[in-house]
């Protein structure tokens, strides 16, 4: 069945869903970094991120964090609720890394005195600039109540995922969340959207501090595919068929 494409992003494609109010989220192997200046392919990433995000969203639902996730459809696709994306990236940090280390001169790996939440305005042309609550409310991207709700969810997600990852020997250094608005008969709800995967989280091995996330791609560290597989394996969601299926759809002659 050919589905109408709604949107194509850097790592995912959204198609019209089987019923109104639903979409199909397709996970690609494409990877970008530094505002799409660096491009590449991480073989099998789409298959693994589909599973990892399914697992994490499902676990979050079970502790009362609402998400857009409905169910996984196949190796690379999941059914989601259609939401109006709030144009913000909500970043939670536990350990200094990436842009925080760079901007503020804090050594990568330094534990933060407490978890820090930051907001970035989702705008590729501007390179996703950091914004404050003042900017968010002034420009009408979200109101104070929405911001408070996102903040509370972000902190709950952080507490829960920090423990979940520690249980499989991974430190949750930082991560990015996106939220969307969903209407249930005139009532607006904010739900977690997009994905949660090694594309959007920094995950370091507890004992060796080895990076098991997209930084391997960003910084040309090698072993990128293996890192994503290792995260999936530790979470118990590595597809049984192994690397064979990770190559994605092939043409049958």
Contacting positions for ligand UDP (CB under 6 A): 89, 91, 97-100, 128, 174-176, 200-202, 214
Least CB distance to ligand UDP at residue 95 (A): 11
What whole-number distance in Å separates Cα of residue 228 and Cα of residue 44?
9
Q: Name which of 12 and 202 has its Cβ closer to ligand UDP.
A: 202
Least CB distance to ligand UDP at residue 58 (A): 20
Least CB distance to ligand UDP at residue 63 (A): 21
Q: Name which of 124 and 148 has its Cβ closer to ligand UDP.
A: 124
Q: Contacts from 15-23 at CB under 8 Å and sequence distance 24+?
A: 17/79, 17/80, 17/82, 18/79, 21/81, 21/82, 22/70, 22/79, 22/80, 22/81, 22/82, 23/79, 23/80, 23/81, 23/82
Q: Name which of 12 and 17 has its Cβ closer to ligand UDP.
A: 12
Q: Name which of 189 and 219 has its Cβ closer to ligand UDP.
A: 219
- In sequence order, the β-bridge partners of residue 48 are none
Give the burial class of 2: count Cβ atoms within 10 A of its Cβ; 0-12 exposed, 13-18 middle, 19 or more buried: exposed
- In sequence order, the β-bridge partners of residue 166 are none
Q: Name which of 130 and 241 has its Cβ closer to ligand UDP.
A: 130
Pairing between strand 22-27 and 77-81? antiparallel
Least CB distance to ligand UDP at residue 185 (A): 33
Least CB distance to ligand UDP at residue 97 (A): 6
What whole-number distance in Å separates Cα of residue 48 and Cα of residue 55?
11
């Amino acid at each position: 069945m050919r589905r109408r494409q709604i949107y194509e992003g850097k790592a995912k494609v959204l198609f019209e869903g089987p019923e109104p109010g639903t979409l199909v989220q397709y996970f690609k192997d494409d990877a970008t970094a530094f505002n799409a200046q660096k491009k590449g392919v991480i073989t099998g990433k789409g298959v693994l991120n589909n599973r990892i995000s399914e697992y994490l969203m499902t676990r979050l639902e079970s502790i009362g964090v609402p998400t857009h996730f409905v169910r996984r459809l196949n190796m690379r696709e999941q059914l989601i609720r259609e939401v109006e994306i709030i144009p913000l990236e909500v970043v939670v940090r536990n350990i200094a890394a990436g842009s925080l280390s760079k901007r503020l001169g804090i050594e990568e790996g330094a534990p933060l005195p407490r978890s820090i939440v930051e907001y970035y305005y989702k705008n590729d042309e501007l390179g996703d600039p950091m914004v404050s609550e003042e900017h968010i409310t002034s420009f009408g991207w979200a109101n104070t109540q929405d911001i408070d709700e996102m903040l509370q969810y972000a902190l709950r997600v952080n507490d829960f995922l920090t423990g979940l990852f520690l249980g499989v020997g991974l430190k949750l250094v930082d991560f990015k969340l996106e939220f969307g608005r969903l209407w249930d008969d005139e009532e607006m709800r904010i739900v977690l959207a997009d994905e949660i995967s090694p594309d959007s989280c920094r995950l370091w091995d507890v004992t060796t501090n080895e990076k098991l996330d997209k930084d391997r791609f960003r910084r040309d560290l090698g072993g990128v595919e293996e890192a994503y597989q290792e995260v999936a394996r530790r979470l118990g969601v590595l597809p049984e068929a192994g690397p064979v299926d990770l190559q994605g759809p092939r043409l049958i002659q």
